[in-house]
Every structure is written in C-alpha cells, then in structure tokens.
Structure 1
Amino acid sequence: MKDGTLLHIPNYVFENGDFKNKFFLILKEINGLQLIVSLPSSIEYFPADTTIDHGCIDLIHAQQTTYCFKADYILDSNNNFSFPKNTYLHGCWLKEIDRTLFFQTYPILDFHYEIKGVLDQKELDAVIDCFKNSPSVKRRIKKLL
C-alpha cells in the first residue's frame, strides 16, 4: 500500500472493541512491517476562537497540532476525492500499527475496506511536515515520519 493511501473501512474496530465506519489514512509504511496511520475525524476539537484553514493548525498554547482538509478540497487529483465536511487529522491520534495484523483483520479489498484515493504528493508532504514539527506528536512517530 502506497504512502498517503486513504481507506474507508465499514466496520473499523477500535482498541476498546467499538466499531463504526471510519476513514483510515496511511501516512507511511516502515520496512513493509509497520504503518504510521491517522484516523480522520470531522469532529472539531478547537477553542472557539480558532481560525480553521486548510493545512496545519498548530495551537502551541493548547499543545495541539491538527491538519485540516477543508470540505470539498480535492485530495486525490486522479479520482477527485474530497471529504464533504471539514476533516481533521489530529497529531495526538497518530499511531503505529502492525501491517500484517491490519491486513489479517481487513483482508479483502472492496469488502473489508475500500481505497478512496491516494493523497497528492504535495498534500502528503504538507501533512508529514506538519506532524514532524509538532510538539504534540510522540517522538518515536516523528522519527519514523
């Protein structure tokens, strides 16, 4: 799976056992073994006075870094994929997962998961730069990015 691949998983299972429809962004694959991923969310977790623009939102006083995909902004120019609502990648939610385990859990393309597109390289680079420079992202994750 290519870095920047955006998946939709109809029954994504969270660590607590809950499940729901979820988008899943692969930011980076490490040595074919690990994936650095983000679970995009349309829920805003910002102070009321925050200006929401497309791109990196770094709230140093709140120790929060978020990357915003504005509604209807084309993320994959090959298939014109965009989110219908503002959608956020929260730096504190980046995680490292085992690639083999992930594809054992979701083995069948177009049944367990669907590929929605791949972020244009410029957009993927902007996301990674945002999180590499963030105080809210774990050091280990920043090194892997």
Structure 2
Amino acid sequence: MPTFIYGDQVEDYEQALFESNYMEGIDYVILDILVKKEFDAIIHCFRNSNSVRFKIKKMIG
C-alpha cells in the first residue's frame, strides 16, 4: 500500500501524546520502520519543500 506525506500536513507532537492516542487497529497499524536511506530522503524532501512550515524545517536542520 503506498504512503504519501504532504508537507503542509507535517506537524510536531510530543511522543507521549502520540502514544496516548493510539488505538490498536483503529487509527493505524505500524507495519515496519523506515530504513535510514528512506528516512534521509524524506528529511531532504521536507527541507526543500515550499509547503513545509519554517518551524518544522528549523527543527530538522
């Protein structure tokens, strides 16, 4: 199943809040983790996207 990330929807959340709202099988299912190459590609894309907020770009360097 393809996954899409839209720059204007990128937000920052405290991990505890994210975990406290997790409902098994209802909100989402964690299938796997990103390999470093994929993660780095996403970060590169966010840094160069016009739709990602400056606050987020600043956080990722």
Give the TM interval when normalised to the shorter protein: 0.7 to 0.9
In the TM superposition, what are the counterparts of 1:1-145 in structure 2 within 5 Å? 83=1, 86-106=2-22, 111=24, 114-145=29-60
Deviation at 1:141, TM superposition (A): 0.3
For 1:7, the equivalent position in structure 2 comes to none
1:53-85 per-position Cα deviation (integer Å, ceiling 9, x unaligned): xxxxxxxxxxxxxxxxxxxxxxxxxxxxxx2xx
Q: Which structure's CA Rg is the greater one? A: 1
Identity of aligned residues (%): 38
Between structures 1 and 2, the one with greater strand share: 1
Unaligned runs of 5+ in 2: none
Q: What amino acid is aligned across from residue 3 of structure 2 in structure 1? A: T
Query: Which residue identity is paired with 1:90?
Result: Y
What is the CA RMSD across the aligned residues, in angstroms?
A: 1.9
Number of residue-to-residue matches in the alignment: 58
Where relative contact order (Cα < 8 A, 6+ residues apart) is larger, the structure is 2
Which residue identity does 1:105 align to in structure 2? N
By how many angstroms is 1:127 displaced?
0.8
- Which ranges of 4 or more aligned residues in structure 1 deviate by more than 3 Å? none
More helix by share: 2
| CA distance in 1 between partners of 2:4 and 2:16 (Å) | 26
- The offset of 1:114, in angstroms, is 3.3
Q: Give me the whole-angstrom Cα distance separating, in 1, the residues matched to 2:43 and 2:34.
A: 12
